[in-house]
Structure 1
Amino acid sequence: MIRATALVRRADLASGEIVDRIVLDHGDRHRRRMAMRGVGGLAFLLDLAEPAVLDDGDALRLEDGRLVWVEAAPERLLEIRAPSAHALKRLIWHIGNRHVPAEIGEDALWIAHDHVLAAMVEGLGGSATPVERPFRPEAGAYAGGHAHPADHAHGDGPAHGHHHGHHHGHPHG
């Protein structure tokens, strides 16, 4: 079985033949070694030297130099908002106090869908709206490696055009 031995970050992806894509949820984007199958059917072994977070828009380099595109799968989340910046900070503190993975944006917070936390947020004056979108939680202070802030900016480089929230035009079959 062919191996994927290198992770190429989106910012470093200048060229290469993209031969397939993998669509992974948040939990499956934290890997080192795992058998995988692309959407187009390409079977390969992810075999990185150390665990890594595979971010939306990154690619895995196969031993023969070809690339497999990484796409973040939409997940069922809660989008949490508050009437003021201070109120949002309070909600972030309460959610963080429960050690729940969270993606923090400029004026919203996203967590995995949880009816108990939704009720808590609403009880504290915020809103918790169910949404479906890729989940990119904070890596954590002790996670090391690659952090990927929620309000990151991606420049569209020469490799491909890319915008969050829609399908990529990469190979399917």
Structure 2
Amino acid sequence: MIRATRVLRRDDLSGGEIVDRVVLDHGDRHRRRVAMRGLGGTGFLLDLPEATVLDDGDALVLEDGRLVWVEAAPERLLEIRAPSEHALRRLIWHIGNRHIPAEIGVDAVWIADDHVLAEMVRGLGGSAEAVERPFRPEGGAYAGGHAHGHGHAHDHDHAPGGHHHHAGA
């Protein structure tokens, strides 16, 4: 089976024959090694040196130089808005405090659809509407967006300005 051994970032794409495309949701775009099949039927082994977040518009480079386009799949998300810039910043703080992936726009934030977080946002004066669109969350300070520097991912609340500790941290 032909292998894809590197990623060409969308900003670096120049030339190259795009022979197929894969459409992946947010979770499936964080990969190192997995068998894949493009929508056009091209089968290949993604075989990267380390786990990598594939971004919408990137291309996977096959061993023979051909390219497979990466496209972000539409997902069910919450689009969060607030009545003011300050109120949106406050909502972003509360969302970030839960360590969940978030895509931050100029006047909205998108997170995975979650009824508990939707109620929290509404309780804090924001709006949370279900939408379907590609999800492109921030990579995070430690890359990948799945963990946040402690070597694991988790979901819990922290008091405003508070600290939390983990064994071995």
TM-score (norm 1): 0.81
Deviation of 1:20 (Å): 0.6
For the pair shown, which has the larger CA radius of gyration, 1 or 2? 2
Deviation of 1:25 (Å): 0.3
SS of equivalent to 1:117: helix
Deviation of 1:31 (Å): 0.7
What percent identity do the matched residue pairs reach? Answer: 82
**Whole-Å Cα distance in 2 between the matches of residues 126 and 141 of structure 1?**
26
Which residue number in structure 2 is paired with residue 121 of structure 1? Answer: 121
Deviation of 1:3 (Å): 0.2
Which residue number in structure 1 is paired with residue 5 of structure 2? Answer: 5
Deviation of 1:8 (Å): 0.5
Gaps of 5+ in 1: 145-173
TM-score (norm 2): 0.83
User: Which stretches of structure 1, 4 residues or more, deviate above 2 A after TM superposition?
Assistant: none
Gaps of 5+ in 2: 145-169
Q: How does 1:20-59 map to 2 (within 5 A)?
A: 20-59=20-59
Deviation of 1:51 (Å): 1.5
How big is each residue's C-alpha offset from its partner over 1:46-84, in whole Å with a ceiling of 9 and x where there is no partner? 001121111111100100111100000000000000000
**Whole-Å Cα distance in 2 between the matches of residues 101 and 6 of structure 1?**
25
**Whole-Å Cα distance in 1 between the matches of residues 119 and 49 of structure 2?**
42
**Whole-Å Cα distance in 1 between the matches of residues 67 and 51 of structure 2?**
19
**Whole-Å Cα distance in 2 between the matches of residues 139 and 114 of structure 1?**
20
Q: How does 1:3-152 map to 2 (within 5 A)?
A: 3-143=3-143
Give the count of matched residue pairs: 145
**Whole-Å Cα distance in 1 between the matches of residues 91 and 6 of structure 2?**
38
Deviation of 1:19 (Å): 0.7
Q: Which structure is higher in RCO with an 8 Å CA cutoff and minimum separation 6? A: 1
Q: In structure 2, what residue type is equivalent to 1:103?
A: E
**Whole-Å Cα distance in 1 between the matches of residues 128 and 28 of structure 2?**
25
